[in-house]
Amino acid sequence: MAELQIGDKAPAITAKNQKGETIQLSDFTGKKVILYFYPKDNTPGCTTEACNFRDNYQALLKDGFEVLGVSIDSEQSHQKFISKHELPFNLLADEDQKIVNDYGVWVEKNMYGKKYMGTARTTFVIDEGGVIQHIIKKVDNKNATQQIRDLLAQ
């Protein structure tokens, strides 16, 4: 599958959130969506990024955004992550790796010389019509919201 580009229609998503409810990307038509992919619940970088979105969530809502996090963790893992860090947005469970594959973020990684498959931390900013406006591949975990604001201000 070709790599997603700015201006592409965002691939459809249907997944369970932390409560077992079915969430579809199309549920958010008319809203801008920050769709962020992260490797694993309750790891340092992923926690920092999620808490940055949490701390800026009300301002993002005010600006017309919804935030959706996606990892290959289970609904139960997402529940623990959300309750531990009081995250106010949905985390989608992509245990079958369909979404990470559709978005091209399931990649070969290399840690300490060991190669393995994993999720590349990537953020997609999707407009009200479901079109990809921005793709952030070098995510600044501590300043994830500001990074998006800076892009939108350009």
Active-site choice (10, 23, 33, 46)? 46
Q: What are the DSSP E strand ranges found in the chain?
A: 14-16, 22-24, 32-37, 65-71, 90-93, 106-111, 114-119, 122-126, 132-136
- Measure the CA–CA gap between 16 and 23, rounded to whole angstroms: 6
Token pair listed for 43: 């790891």
User: What's at 38, amino acid-wise?
Assistant: Y
Active site residue 46: yes
Q: Rounded to an integer, what distance in angstroms lies between the CA atom of residue 135 and that of residue 56?
A: 19
Residues whose CB is less than 8 angstroms from the CB of residue 111 and which lie 6 or more positions away in sequence, other chains included: none
- Cα angle 60-82-109, degrees, rounded to a multiple of 5: 90
- Catalytic amino acids? 46
